[in-house]
Amino acid sequence: MNNDYLLKMYHMSFSYEEKSIFEESDFTINENEKVIIYANNGSGKTTFLNVCAGFLSPFSGSCFRKNELKIGYLFQNPYVQNISITVEEELVSVCKNYGMNDKVINEKVGYFLGIFGLNHLRKRDIVSLSGGEKQIISFLSNLIMEPDIIFFDEPFSMIDSGARRRLIKILNNISKLAFIIVTSLYFPSLDVSDQYIIDNKKILKISGEPEHDYFLKRGIFPVVSDDYI
């Protein structure tokens, strides 16, 4: 088994009661790999991430995670992830949960807000932020704990075009991080290691750069350019 792997699935099958969602699917992601998985709504995108994260167990087959794998998870709805009053308090609370001291916390909060140009939001109440700003702060709440991998559940679907461009730019500029994005939207401007699709209860790797019709036939809406998003 490759020592660089973060997560491996072998013949993973999953069902809700008598409804089969996945059947004998294989999947692997290694350190610092960036993967996007396209699928239409209701095909099992969130279920797949929950199996990856260990929130759900496969009905059959297996899902191996690297020992002491540190996982981040960004939910589809940015309004449910933040729990603190201000942006600063949100990031500080995450750091405290990982046992960091006050000096380290202050440095990390300043660093992460600074590199993404968000210092002006530091004292803002989270409830006053736009949906896009909340999603980016949720992402920083994951990033500040220095995870090995982040799972993104439809991160672009509930934010505006400006926030989409900003989040894509951030993701494209990060090198020391693995992530899996599941989405029903096709973003050609997102730099990823591999592309997959959920089709016929399988996780299937896409070879090359398929035409837009490839996605349309599978119920996936292609975003055709950066101007569009």
Which tokens is 223 given? 């975003």
pLDDT at residue 225, as a whole number? 42
Total-model pTM: 0.85
198/39 Cα distance (integer angstroms): 5
Per-residue model confidence as pLDDT tens digits over 85-106? 899 998 998 899 888 999 999 9
Higher pLDDT, 49 or 221: 49
pLDDT at residue 82, as a whole number? 59
pLDDT at residue 227, as a whole number? 43
53 sits in the region (left: phi over 0; alpha: psi -120 to 50; else beta) called alpha
Q: Give the distance from CA 18 to its chain's centroid.
A: 28
Three-state secondary-structure class, residue 133 = helix
Single-letter amino acid code for the residue at 226: D
Q: What percent of the chain clears pLDDT 70, i.e. is strictly above it? A: 89
147/54 Cα distance (integer angstroms): 15
DSSP string, 15-83: EETTEEEEEEEEEEEETT-EEEEE--TTSSHHHHHHHHHTSS--SEEEEEE-TT--EEEE-S-TTTT--
Per-residue model confidence as pLDDT tens digits over 101-128? 999 999 999 988 887 788 999 999 988 8
99 sits in the region (left: phi over 0; alpha: psi -120 to 50; else beta) called left
Beta strand pairing status for 178-183 and 202-205?
unpaired
